[in-house]
Structure 1
Amino acid sequence: MIYTGGSALGTIVMMHFPSDTGFALGALEKIFHAAACEVSGPDGVHFSYPRLAEGRAPSLPPGFDRLLEHDLRRSRSHQGRQLSDYLKANGIERALAFDVGPGHPSLHALRRGGASRVVSYFGAPLGTPRRGLSLLLRRLRTALQEQPDLYVFESLAMQESAIKGGRGIPASKTTIIRTGLDLDRFRPRDENSPDSLPADLGIPADRKVVFYAGHTTPRKGIDTILDSAADLVDQRGRRDVHFLLCGDRKGEAEEYLARLDGTRARAHVTFGGYRDDIPDLMAASYCGVIASTGWDSFPRSAMEMSASGLPLLASALQGLVETVDHGRTGYLFEPGDSTALADLIADLLDQPAERDRLGAASRLLAEKQYSEQRQVEELAEALRG
């Protein structure tokens, strides 16, 4: 990342999870650090975590030591005093904090410590939906509470949930900043890509891979994906397709695979667990799928699939509809409709030119909307105010 300047006044980035927790969050740490550097310069950036026992986050620069242990999810008076004193001692006037909503106890400490600009970043919806009198009362309560200067959301669905739903946040206090990706790390297959999928996955080379990466909780629609596999393989006789699902924890795959006991499809489904070669797996795949049946916002995996040049097949709900330009970069289907998903996969298997057209458009979308530098610049502007 190239830093273009910065003021003498400091910026603190406040994370809501322990340091060194994994790739997805680590990518955000790197982005937040770069944005803060744009505003305050490399020597004016500070980070806080609820726990530092895991050591310095590897996504931060080597030797970075401007760290504070502060738990955003707990309200303790001594924590507030410690935070205020830290800001005063280090000349910090801006904060980029995770999930700090109206009335959050850290807000008072930040203001008392001299923070004139507080930006709250949300990677999930703010509150549960409300209507009528309940929403009106919530808005009145919100108006009376101390608030950040700006709420940043990753998708329109999340922004609207804050404005029209659970908290009644004024629209003027919100903005959308899409997550950024390393577009050199996630890219379509080229001459430098591996010739085949890793042997440990056991996927025959003549099968086209339908790829999923993410949590394997029920709301992610794993059952829908498996039912579409059974439809394609057992009902329609397809032998040219394989489903690769990554992100399952120990013991989760067995419960899902039991759904396919006694089917031919069982041999056409692989759970890959947590892996560090996801970019290569995506580049080697034929299309991507996200079949969520419950709330989903703007998942990072959707952007990674687009950047990898994959057509994306996604459920038509909440933020997922924002990840697909229907008919141009992929297709949307009704949540839980495994037959519709199977139809879309079959069409792509039978029409490789259509698959390539969608994949090329998907990559272009990523280049225009998902770059890391764009996210850094927009976050820096949000911090400046």
Structure 2
Amino acid sequence: MPQPPAILQVLPALVAGGVERGTVEIAEAIAAAGWRALVASAGGALAVEVERVGGVHVTLPLATKSPLGILRNAGALAALVRQEEVAILHARSRAPAWSALLASRRTGAHLVTTYHGAYNEGLPGKRLYNSVMARGERVIAISHFIADLVRARHGTGPGRLRVIPRGVDPRRFDPAAVPPPQVAALRESWGAALGQPVILLPGRMTRWKGQAVLLEAVARLPGQPIAVLAGGGNEEFARELRGRAQALGLGDRLRLAGHVEAMAPALLAADVVVHASTDPEAFGRTVIEAQAMARPVIASDLGGPRETVEEGVTGWRVPPGDPAALAAALARVLALPEAERAAVGARARAAVLRDYTTTAMQAATIGVYRELLG
């Protein structure tokens, strides 16, 4: 009897992040479809998750960007494709995608790419380097914003381009599933007094995520709100933020929570969740996670959040990099009656359950694979 089809996803590593989490979720869907789910990467904390959902992880040094390393990885992927009779290679990042492209040409395996970012083109040769993400037989764009960008930059036509938004698992992000004492304990750990507003910004510690913009905005607000920054990353930038908070008089109201594994309780513990990115997000998964938890969300008016945040209906949008506009929006939202904020949160959760679930993302991706497998 022939083996079930094998799908091999490739990415640099399996550390925490949206691309990595999505890889695990698609591996789960592949296994559930009765196919063989393979993932190749340099490894990381989520490698065990691949195995848990029924996939197999293969360790390869796919994080390298050196031309020689990319060529070597192409050979290793081609050998793996032949050994495991892989039908489809699915590339999720640029350097591994070059290796996957070469491997697919050598073996005849189909190639799918997911265009996960806006990908800066500031340096010479960058458009060529980025173009590999538009060379799949099917190119998955994670938002309409990204689809427009792929069409404009690379001329990718509708026959190959598919829009599949990111999704959240409504079982993991469910307000009813978080015990109120857990939320109260988290607010207490942040030093929030009864009735003191908590403003949460989830995102990596990197300048373009807008943490500094939030601090400038919070400094303009009355009522002594607490600003919680949830995300790991650049420690030097974190020190810079602490210094800026001191200068703004926010030193005792800034909380650097670091990487938060259990985001659902943290989101529920916030009065408002802020997305303050100054560069366009390809999608903005933290936004729909907050909406799934029925939280009021204020997002930068650019990139993916333009599609997931309907102004005044499921949240609010503000000009990016504008502390005064963000402060004004925060003041308006915090001044709303609790019932009105709850109504916005309820509409936001309903929109996520309708349009942005993990199940929908998995089904659409499996549909792309079926197109190629015939």
The answer to whether TM tops 0.5 is: yes
* Aligned equivalents of 1:89, 1:263: Cα separation in 2: 60
Letter in 2 for 1:300: R
Q: CA deviation at 1:127?
A: 5.9
Which stretch of the first structure deviates more once superposed, 246-255 or 352-361? Answer: 246-255
Task: Tell me what 2:161 maps to.
Answer: 174
Q: In structure 1, what residue type is equivalent to 2:303?
A: Q
Match of 2:136 in 1: 148
Alpha-carbon distance in 2 for matches of 1:24, 1:38: 21
- 1:48 alignment partner in structure 2: 40
Within 1, Cα distance between the matches of 2:329 and 2:74?
53
Does the 8 Å contact 2:9/2:91 carry over to 1?
A: yes
Q: Quick check: which one's helix share is greater?
A: 2
Tell me how far apart the structure 1 counterparts of residues 363 and 22 of structure 2 sit (CA, whole Å): 14
Could you tell me which residue of structure 2 aligns to residue 367 of structure 1?
Answer: 353
Q: Which region of structure 1 is more displaced relative to structure 2, 318-327 or 80-89?
A: 80-89
Query: Residue 197 and residue 277 in structure 1: after superposition, are their counterparts in 2 closer, same or farther (change >3 A)?
Result: farther
Alignment of 1:34-45 (within 5 A): 34-39=28-33, 41-42=34-35, 44-45=36-37
User: In 2 relative to 1, CA 263–185 (structure 1 residues): closer, same or farther, beyond 3 Å?
Assistant: same
- Distance in 2 between the 1:377 and 1:272 partners? 35
The Cα shift of 1:284 comes to 1.6
CA distance in 2, matches of 1:339, 1:7: 60
| Aligned equivalents of 1:333, 1:25: Cα separation in 2 | 26
Partner in structure 2 of residue 258 of structure 1: 243
The alpha-carbon deviation at position 183 of structure 1 amounts to: 1.1
One-letter code of the match for 2:90?
Answer: L
Residue 11 of structure 1 aligns with which residue? 7
Question: In the TM superposition, what are the counterparts of 1:213-224 in structure 2 within 5 Å?
Answer: 213-224=202-213
Q: Secondary structure at the match of 1:94?
A: strand
Structure 1 residue 213, shift from structure 2 partner: 0.4
In the comparison of the two structures, how many residue pairs are matched?
359
Q: Which residue of 2 aligns with 1:231?
A: 220
Kindly indicate whether residue 318 of structure 2 is the aligned counterpart of residue 333 of structure 1: yes
The answer on 1:247 being equivalent to 2:223 is no
Report 1:1-385 matches (<5 A).
Answer: 8-17=4-13, 19=14, 21-22=15-16, 24-39=18-33, 41-42=34-35, 44-49=36-41, 51-52=42-43, 54=44, 57-62=47-52, 65=56, 67=58, 69=60, 71=62, 73-76=65-68, 77-99=71-93, 104-115=98-109, 117-126=110-119, 128=121, 147-165=135-153, 167-188=154-175, 192-193=179-180, 194-198=182-186, 199-233=188-222, 238-239=223-224, 241-249=225-233, 250-261=235-246, 263-351=248-336, 352-385=338-371
Query: Structure 1 residues 248 and 30 mapped into 2: Cα distance closer, same or farther (>3 Å)?
Result: closer
- Work out the CA distance in 1 between the residues paired with 2:367 and 2:10: 18
Give, in whole Å, the separation in 2 of the partners of 1:189 and 1:287. Answer: 18
Gaps of 5+ in 2: none
Which protein shows a greater Rg?
Answer: 1
Please tell me whether the aligned partners of residues 15 and 98 of structure 1 are also in contact (alpha carbons under 8 angstroms).
yes
Mapped partners of 1:155, 1:109: distance in 2: 28
Shift of 1:56: 7.4
Task: Tell whether the 8 Å contact from 1:107 to 1:146 is kept in structure 2 after alignment.
Answer: no
Aligned-residue RMSD, C-alpha: 3.2
| Rounded Cα–Cα distance in structure 2 between residues aligned with 1:183 and 1:56 | 20
- Paired AA for residue 287 in structure 1: V
Deviations 1:250-280 (A, max 9, x none): 3433311322325543333222111223210
Specify the alignment match of 1:3 in structure 2.
none
| 1:219-258 deviation per Cα after TM superposition (whole angstroms, max 9, x unaligned) | 122222111111003xxxx23x222111144343331132
Task: Report deviation, 1:295.
Answer: 2.7
Task: Tell me if the contact between 2:173 and 2:292 (Cα under 8 Å) persists in the aligned partners.
Answer: yes
Change (3 A) 1:291 1:109: same
8 Å CA contact retained: 2:232, 2:258: yes
